[in-house]
Chains A and B, each alone.
Chain A
Amino acid sequence: MRLTKLLIALAAAVLASVLFLKPADIHAATAYVMDESGTLTSEQVASLNSLAEEISLRQKCGVYVIITSDMHGYSESSFARGIFMNYDLGYDEGNRDGASGVLLAISEGDRYYDSVAYGAAKDTFSSYNLDRLNDLVLDYLYNGDWYGAAEGFIRKCDDILTDSGYQYYVPTYTDPAINPTTVTTSPAQRREIFLSRLPFVGVIAALLSLLITWVVSLQNTNIGIATEAMKYLVKNGVKLTSTQDIFINKTRTTTRIHRDSGGGGSSGSSHSYHSSGFSSSSGGRHF
Chain B
Amino acid sequence: MADQLSNYQCPNCGGPLRFDPAVQKLKCDYCESTFTQEEVDQFYRAKEEAAAQVGTDQQWETETGQWSGEEASHMRAYSCPSCGAELIADENTAVTVCPYCNNPTVVAGQFKAKKPQFVLPFQLDKKEAVSILNNFYKGKPLLPRAFKSQNHIEEIKGVYVPFWLYNGVMDADLIFRAERIQQYTHGDNIVTETSHYQIVRRGTVAFSGVPADASTKMPDEYMDAIEPFDYSKLKDFDTMYMAGYMADSYDVDAETDRARAEKRMRQTAESQLSSTVVGYTSVVPVRSDIRMIDCAAAYAFLPVWVLCTKWNGKNYLFAVNGQSGKIVGDMPTDKALFLQYFLITALVLFLIGAVILYFMGGGFL
Chain A: residues with CB nearer than 8 A to chain B? 3-4, 7-8, 10-11, 14, 17-18, 73, 179, 181-182, 185, 187-188, 190-191, 193-194, 197-198, 201-202, 204-206, 208-210, 212-213, 216-217, 219-234, 237-257, 259
- A219 touching B344 by the CB < 8 A rule? no
**Closest CB pairs A-B (n = 10):** A237-B206, A209-B346, A182-B362, A187-B364, A205-B349, A242-B202, A226-B224, A201-B353, A229-B264, A209-B345
Looking across the interface, which residue of chain B has its beta carbon closest to that of A227?
B267
Q: Complex Cα distance A217/B353, Å?
A: 24
Q: Which of A188, A247, A259 contacts B195 (CB 8 A)?
A: A247
Contact (Cβ within 8 A) B344 A3: yes
B57 CB within 8 Å of chain A: no
Bound-state CA distance A250–B329 (Å) is: 54
* Number of residue pairs spanning A and B whose beta carbons lie under 8 angstroms apart: 224
Given A193-B361, A252-B193: A228 touches B267 (CB 8 Å cut-off): yes
- A3 to B189 Cα, complex, angstroms: 61
Chain B residues numbered 189-237 whose CB sits less than 8 Å from any CB in chain A: 189-210, 219-222, 224-225, 227-228
Complex-state Cα separation, A147 to B202, whole angstroms: 91
Q: Is the CB of B333 within 8 A of A220?
A: yes
Size of the B side of the interface (Cβ < 8 Å), in residues, is: 78
Residue pair A10, B351 in contact (C-beta under 8 Å): yes
A4 touches B343 (CB 8 A): yes
Tell me the nearest residue of chain B to A7, going by C-beta: B347
Contact A225 B208 (CB under 8 A): no
Report if A223-B210 is in contact (Cβ < 8 Å); known contacts: A213-B338, A213-B341, A228-B271.
Answer: no
- Indicate if B140 sits at the interface (CB-CB under 8 A): yes
**Contact between A248 and B196, CB atoms less than 8 A apart:** yes
What would be 6 A-B contacts, judged by CB atoms less than 8 Å apart? A7-B344, A73-B364, A190-B361, A229-B265, A242-B201, A246-B198
Q: Say whether B84 faces chain A, with CB atoms less than 8 Å apart.
A: no
Docked-complex contact B364 and A244, CB < 8 angstroms: no
In contact, A205 and B190 (Cβ under 8 angstroms): no
CB nearest to B231 among chain A residues: A232
Given A194-B364, A251-B196, does the pair A233, B268 have CB atoms closer than 8 Å? Answer: yes
